[in-house]
Amino acid sequence: MNQLKVSRVVANQVEDLQVISRSTFFETFAAYNSDSDMANYLEKDMSIQQLTSEFNNADSIFYLVSSDDNIVGYLKLNLINLEGSDPNKKGIEIARVYVLREYHGSGAGQLLFKTSMTIAQENKCDYIWLGVWENNPRAIRFYEKNGFVITGNKKFILGDDVQNDFIMVRSI
């Protein structure tokens, strides 16, 4: 088995981030969504301009997971509270976590999750939260296995399609 390594994304890696972002999102959702909705989302939400803007946001942190020298997944964290949550508690959002399909079960996803927990603890967060598509049972099981519970719903817009995400939360 190849050695997995997590590293924080630096400015000159935004193009690498775009490649893995587009690859993993397409691989995960293309079979369930229209070609035009996928193309619109990838063009707008995963453009170099958009990812650079997100990278430059002081409340966002990106990490890459690599196997040898190959990038196999990534993580985006946002240092923001869940809307409507207790204002006296501090939260962090797992905004995106994706691993190439061929690396599912390799430990790459678990390594990214552990990274998110470490960052949450370093930032003295009380909880960690995320949104996950209601039609993604594999991801839901992964999060449940890691202590998350469904607490609500939120809308996710993919092109012209309004989808439902479950909000999942875990105390730290």
Residues designated as active site: 143
- φ, ψ of residue 94 in degrees (nearest 5): -85, 100
Q: Are 109 and 146 in contact (CB under 8 A)?
A: no
Tokens of 78: 């946002």
CB 33 within 8 A of CB 159: yes
Checking phi first, is residue 129 left (phi over 0); if not, alpha (psi -120 to 50) or beta? beta
Among positive and negative, which fits the CA dihedral 14, 108, 67, 28? negative
Between CA 32 and CA 159 the distance in angstroms is: 13
Q: 């809308």: which residue's tokens? A: 155
Task: Find the DSSP H helices in 60-136.
Answer: 108-122
Q: Are 65 and 150 in contact, with CB atoms under 8 Å apart? A: no
